[in-house]
Structure 1
Amino acid sequence: MARHLPLPPPRPVVHPLRTSDPARSTVHRLSHHRMRVTIDHEPLAGVTPAMLLWWFRHIGDSLTYAGQQMSGYLAWHPLDHIRWELARPAPGGGAGEGARYRIVEAFGRRDDFYVDSVERVEKLDETGIRLVRRIAGIQVFQLEHTWSAGREGTHYVSVMDLGSGSPLMAPVNRHLTSRVFPEAMARAWVVHNVEEVGVLEHLLPGLVPAEGG
């Protein structure tokens, strides 16, 4: 992937970042050189599913973080996030279902774990968000975050699927999971995703309007 956006200086880490628990994540190699990465996050105290829905619809909005004005995306992970763009609005406008998100980030602030990708939002409601990328109409990437209310806070699960289930796509899958997004990068993403999801516990309460809670 082209590395044309420089990594900005890190923003202040206002709240301690969560550490990943190996028992709560898995990286599985599947048939036809596919890979699936699953994270069962610790509950998000003080966060509701409605807050998460609001957040993903307003991820590019400006907010005040550590005394500075910046996009919500940059505050979401103060070290790794580089840029978020609404590459294409949803049919009804904005960043809702049917929109295309451009996401630029570098896991662990490492250049070899740099991502600059555009995905379509194929689902966004109070149960979760699903981002999909296709090549020639064939799905090669899916990232789904699902959430639900629990006794200790919102239960949040992330599942990333790399590669197509078609045997004909095995060579493409092999390239994807060995060169573009290899297992080392997938494991770095686990650390990154655990950290950014944990930030929501501190970022959203007090930020989301009452109707989003």
Structure 2
Amino acid sequence: MIKVDHSLRRQRRAARDALRNAGTLAFKPVSSAQWTDVSVSRRGAIRVRIQHDDIAGVTPEMTQWWFENMAGTTTWNGVDFTGPEVLYYHLWHHRDHIRITPLTDAPDGTPNTGFRVGALSRIDEQFNDYRDRIHQVMRTTRLDSTEFTFDILGPAHIPAGYIIHRYAPVDGGVSFYAETVIDVRVPILGPVLNWLVRPFLFSRATADHWIRHNIEETGRTADILPAIHAAAHAPART
């Protein structure tokens, strides 16, 4: 179980204050998505899909940078960059997110500052009024200007599913599609575990909560990424 310590509470308050200062505290509603879908396959795997509302003011290259550096911090306070240090991840969802922890660098030695292809990262978050808790190791399999995908790893790093994000340029921003599949991929026992165990870990109700959470964080991107990305790429002062 993830304990909410005082540092986490301060971080969340700082993120909330920044969003309030910017006038963007409210989340997008589930109805903002173009469409959503939940299905269960014959082998007991569950798939959740969301075609999000387009993200305004963001490019595919900015989106790639965002995922590559998601473990970073900023002093953005919603107006300028004189506020307290706050995690990008908390700004993305001030209520549910806890932390992104890079566990390994990329196989080619590239430092992992969020997610990098071939690297391991751990996601800690909670949603559904804190009843659904995520403390999960992921292995990034693709991250470029069109797609960000990672495998969800179970015990002994057995693949237990994956999450796909696809984005493309549209007028004024990017389109954004997200897909989560929970599917234990082990010989013979995989379907058995999917039908008997998977519903206790990720049920149709969990899928509905994940849809809400994902729409809220994705919808937040337009509120925070343009300012953060511009600051991170501003010419160094001499």
TM-score > 0.5 by shorter chain: yes
Distance 1:138 1:108, change over 3 A: closer
Mapped contact 2:29–2:216 kept (Cα < 8 A): yes
The answer to whether residue 115 in structure 2 is matched with residue 86 in structure 1 is no
Partner of 1:145 in structure 2? 165
Partner of 2:236 in structure 1? none
Larger radius of gyration: 2
Offset from partner CA, 1:146-204 (integer Å, 9 cap, x none): 00001242000000011146664112112443111122111111100001011110111
Offset from partner CA, 1:35-65 (integer Å, 9 cap, x none): 0000000000100000011111111111124
Q: 1:210 offset after TM fit, Å?
A: 8.4
Mapped contact 2:136–2:153 kept (Cα < 8 A): no
Matches within 5 A, 1:93-112: 93-95=110-112, 96-110=116-130, 112=131
Distance 1:210 1:79, change over 3 A: closer
The answer to whether residue 147 in structure 2 is matched with residue 128 in structure 1 is yes
Larger displacement relative to structure 2 (11-20 or 70-79): 11-20
Compute the TM-score of the two structures, normalised by the length of structure 1: 0.89
* % identical equivalent positions: 27
Q: 1:139 offset after TM fit, Å?
A: 2.8
Matches within 5 A, 1:45-194: 45-66=56-77, 67-91=83-107, 92-95=109-112, 96-110=116-130, 112-135=131-154, 138-164=158-184, 168-194=189-215
Show structure 2 runs of 5+ residues with no match. Answer: 78-82, 234-238
What is the DSSP-based 3-state SS (H/G/I as helix, E as strand, rest coil) of the residue aligned with 2:227? coil
Offset from partner CA, 1:11-58 (integer Å, 9 cap, x none): 314312111127611111111111000000000010000001111111
Q: Distance in 1 between matches of 2:213 and 2:207?
A: 10
Q: Distance in 2 between matches of 1:198 and 1:190?
A: 12
Partner of 2:27 in structure 1? 17
Give the partner amino acid of 1:51: M
Q: 1:140 offset after TM fit, Å?
A: 1.8
Larger displacement relative to structure 2 (56-65 or 170-179): 170-179
What is the DSSP-based 3-state SS (H/G/I as helix, E as strand, rest coil) of the residue aligned with 1:114? strand
Q: Distance in 2 between matches of 1:98 and 1:197?
A: 24
Show structure 1 runs of 5+ residues with no match. Answer: none
Give the partner amino acid of 1:74: H
Give the partner amino acid of 1:84: I
Compute the TM-score of the two structures, normalised by the length of structure 2: 0.80
Q: 1:6 offset after TM fit, Å?
A: 2.5
Higher RCO, Cα 8 Å, sep 6+: 1
Q: 1:100 offset after TM fit, Å?
A: 1.1
Mapped contact 1:177–1:183 kept (Cα < 8 A): no
What is the DSSP-based 3-state SS (H/G/I as helix, E as strand, rest coil) of the residue aligned with 1:88? coil
Q: Distance in 2 between matches of 1:31 and 1:97?
A: 31
Mapped contact 2:36–2:48 kept (Cα < 8 A): yes
Higher strand share: 1
